[in-house]
Amino acid sequence: MQSYLQYRRIGQAVAKQLERDHEKLPTLGNLGHSEGYPSTYSPELLSTGKPARPAATQNPCDTPGETDSDEQIQPHDLHAVSSVRTRHSARTALGYALGGIHARDRATHEGGDGKVFVVGWDGENDPLNPCNYSTPSRVITTLMVAAVAFVVTVASSIDSAILLQASEEFGVSEVTESLATGAFLIGFGLGCLIAGPFSETFGRNVVYMGSLAIFMIFIMASGLAPNIGAQIAFRFLAGFFGSTPLTCAGGTVSDLWNPLEKTFGFPLFAISGFGGPVLGPVIGSYIGTGDLPSWRWTEWITLITAGLVLSLIVLFQPETNPLVLLSWKAHHLRQLTGDDRYRAQMEITKLTLWSRLRISLSRPFILTANELIIILMALYLTTIYIVLFTFLTGYTFLFSDVYGTSQGLTNVLFVGMLVGILLAMSLVPLVYSWTKKDMAERHGQIRPECRLWYSMLGGAPAIPISLFWMGWTDFSSISIWSPLIATTLFGYGVICIFLSAYMYIIDSYETYAASALTSVALIRYLAAGGMTVVGIPFYKNMGTHWTLTILGCISTLLVPIPYLLYKYGPSIRSHSKYAVTPPVALP
């Protein structure tokens, strides 16, 4: 609904711009004559595609490729030739007069000879540009995308709260039942490969709506599953179609916020994106044991929440992809002027969906194999996700077996991580002020290494400290508050690493950011999906103390990564084929 209204508004804005900018034509003066274009223009051209009266002279500078082919012109009919050439010259002059239109010759790979009018924004303050929406509007749009991320990430972990009940109903072990969670995460990772190309072709909004609707279908099917095989299959498909926010949300945030504003714009999304897996077990805490005796209510609650979010997206979410919005603007210009040369950049050398899919399927692996920054960030996030998702089954060993907490209360204790995530948001004003100062010193240029400040401000050390703290104080003789506070520190570290990794990759790779994020998401979710199944035997055989100590040692090895990238990142990027080259120092 909102996208349709937005499309209509763009058409109205284009009509007003044509009416306004056509008045500039008499002032083109020598430009019109030197280019062979008339210096006057008739507004009747907008509605009829024909001049008000024929011109008296021919214009030798119009190329054959620029003449219209909708009229039959005989060689002896000089009046018709003059009329057609003048008509097209007026259109060409209009292309030069319109604000935000860049007139240039087509390159060979763009279709050969002739001119093309590349449609852009009508100045820096164009109200059609998502970056120029009001701040409340951009905040609401970001939060709606965050809501999509929240509901699909809640679904990724909520089933861990009812492992016992589901495994008993299907007559399988808890390890086998944990495959439902693992399959969902694997589907998440694989779905990232196709979400990006669809959003670039059809727009972000339609992909959010379409994927969420299909996600709901498979969540419902999972709730109705008659056996463990059907449940695992439907959970995989739900994860596959629920992966859209993992790839597209970073693009939406970039559409709405400039580099400085992204310092607080991206955390708005990240709280929900990372809060979802943490709150999933909390939401499912007393399902299967309390007033909702069936474990299937985990799926019904997810389905109801997804339906509410989908309704909000359909009614209120605008399209934010600038490439798609400019293609809408170009479409209206072609309709109103009758001139087919108005093209958005994505329409000049149009890539088919299949071409985008081929790039999407191959480029993430190319980047992973060649880009040190992506390798390191993927390794870091993969380790964190392995710890996070093994906690889904590990909390039973950490709290229930040691302190005797009930199944429901054990799942409620995930709130400790959420508290840590929220505490990390206190860093936003500080990082914003530092980023603003750093950009001022560099004449407004963003330095990607600024994005590493979140992890450098205690985020990186917090991960191993929290794991060692939990592992070495998880005894019945020590208060339960000790490992619980450690989970809060873990939540703080997790969100700081997540913010730094995503924002650093986006700013370091810009054009290739979607492929880079796809690579990181694919690796970490495939690993997390596999480790979710391994979690129960790992904790059972190694014990909580050794399990957390091993994970703490691994994460300790990764602590230097943000500090090393802060120092050597510019040098690494300067040797990359895909990363943004550091700007030359200004005098």
Residue 443 has a CB neighbour count (10 Å cut-off) of 8
Answer whether 320's CB lies under 8 Å from 113's CB: no
CA dihedral 61→67→72→74, nearest 10 degrees, is 20
CATH of the domain at 363: 1.20.1250.20
Answer whether 149's CB lies under 8 Å from 276's CB: yes
Answer whether 428's CB lies under 8 Å from 264's CB: yes
Alpha carbons 516 and 508: distance in angstroms, whole number = 10
Burial of residue 227, with CB atoms counted within 10 A of its CB: 0-12 exposed, 13-18 middle, 19 or more buried: exposed
> Could you give the residue ranges of the DSSP H alpha helices within 171-321?
174-177, 179-202, 204-223, 228-241, 244-256, 262-283, 297-316
Alpha carbons 421 and 276: distance in angstroms, whole number = 11
* DSSP states of 433-501: HHHHHHHHHTTT---GGGGGHHIIIIIHHHHHHHHHHHHHH-STTS-THHHHHHHHHHHHHHHHHHHHH
Alpha carbons 413 and 418: distance in angstroms, whole number = 10
Answer whether 118's CB lies under 8 Å from 343's CB: yes
For residue 421, the model assigns a pLDDT of: 92
Does 366 fall in a domain? yes
Rg of the chain in Å (alpha carbons): 28
CB contact set of 27 (below 8 Å; sequence gap of 6+):
none
pTM of the model: 0.83
Alpha carbons 165 and 172: distance in angstroms, whole number = 10
Which pair of structure tokens corresponds to residue 443?
A: 């004449």
Looking at the structure, tell me whether residues 64 and 206 fall in a common domain.
Answer: no
CA angle 298, 196, 510 (to 5 degrees): 125
For residue 393, the model assigns a pLDDT of: 84
Looking at the structure, tell me whether residues 266 and 357 fall in a common domain.
Answer: yes
For residue 107, the model assigns a pLDDT of: 67
| Cα separations in angstroms, 311 against 213, 240, 317, 477 | 10, 21, 10, 50
Q: Which of 482, 459, 62, 440 is nearest to 274 (CA)?
A: 459
Looking at the structure, tell me whether residues 95 and 175 fall in a common domain.
Answer: no
Looking at the structure, tell me whether residues 105 and 150 fall in a common domain.
Answer: no
Q: Which of 504, 498, 431, 436 is nearest to 462 (CA)?
A: 498
Q: 97, 119, 141: which is the final residue of a domain?
A: 119
Looking at the structure, tell me whether residues 166 and 105 fall in a common domain.
Answer: no
Q: 62, 86, 119: which is the final residue of a domain?
A: 119
Per-residue pLDDT of the chain (587 residues; tens, 9 = 90+): 778 888 888 889 888 888 887 766 655 444 443 343 333 334 444 444 444 433 333 333 333 333 333 333 344 443 433 444 444 566 677 767 777 788 777 765 666 667 788 888 888 888 889 999 999 999 999 999 999 999 999 999 999 888 888 999 999 998 899 999 999 999 999 988 888 777 777 788 888 999 999 999 999 999 999 999 999 999 999 999 998 887 788 888 888 999 899 999 999 888 877 788 899 999 988 887 767 778 899 999 999 999 999 999 999 999 998 888 998 999 998 888 888 888 888 777 766 767 777 777 788 888 888 899 999 999 999 999 999 888 888 898 999 999 999 988 999 999 999 999 999 999 999 999 999 999 998 888 889 999 999 999 988 999 999 999 999 999 999 999 999 999 999 999 999 999 999 999 989 988 788 788 888 888 999 998 888 888 888 898 888 999 999 999 999 999 999 999 999 999 999 888 888 876 544 44
CB contact set of 518 (below 8 Å; sequence gap of 6+):
192, 193, 196, 247, 360, 364
Answer whether 285's CB lies under 8 Å from 161's CB: yes
Alpha carbons 232 and 225: distance in angstroms, whole number = 9
Looking at the structure, tell me whether residues 493 and 526 fall in a common domain.
Answer: yes
Beta bridge partners of 105: 115
Which residue type is seen at 192? C
Does 587 fall in a domain? no
Q: Which of 249, 296, 301 is nearest to 280 (CA)?
A: 301
Looking at the structure, tell me whether residues 83 and 228 fall in a common domain.
Answer: no
* DSSP states of 17-59: HHHHHGGGGGGGTHHHHHTT--S---THHHHHSS-SS--SS--
Q: Which of 92, 83, 90 is nearest to 115 (CA)?
A: 92
For residue 583, the model assigns a pLDDT of: 57
Does 242 fall in a domain? yes
In the DSSP assignment, the letter for residue 133 is S
For residue 350, the model assigns a pLDDT of: 66
Looking at the structure, tell me whether residues 286 and 384 fall in a common domain.
Answer: yes
Alpha carbons 36 and 58: distance in angstroms, whole number = 10
Looking at the structure, tell me whether residues 181 and 223 fall in a common domain.
Answer: yes
Q: Which structural domain range is residue 449 located in?
A: 130-319+351-574
Looking at the structure, tell me whether residues 400 and 276 fall in a common domain.
Answer: yes
Looking at the structure, tell me whether residues 74 and 192 fall in a common domain.
Answer: no
Does 204 fall in a domain? yes
Does 339 fall in a domain? no
Does 324 fall in a domain? no
Looking at the structure, tell me whether residues 450 and 526 fall in a common domain.
Answer: yes
Alpha carbons 436 and 253: distance in angstroms, whole number = 18
Q: 77, 93, 119: which is the final residue of a domain?
A: 119
For residue 108, the model assigns a pLDDT of: 59
Beta bridge partners of 103: 117
> Could you give the residue ranges of the DSSP H alpha helices within 257-352?
262-283, 297-316, 322-337, 345-348
Residue 365 has a CB neighbour count (10 Å cut-off) of 14
Does 581 fall in a domain? no
Show the 3-state SS of 565-576.
HHHHHHHHHHCC
Q: How many independent structural domains does the chain possess?
A: 2
Does 125 fall in a domain? no
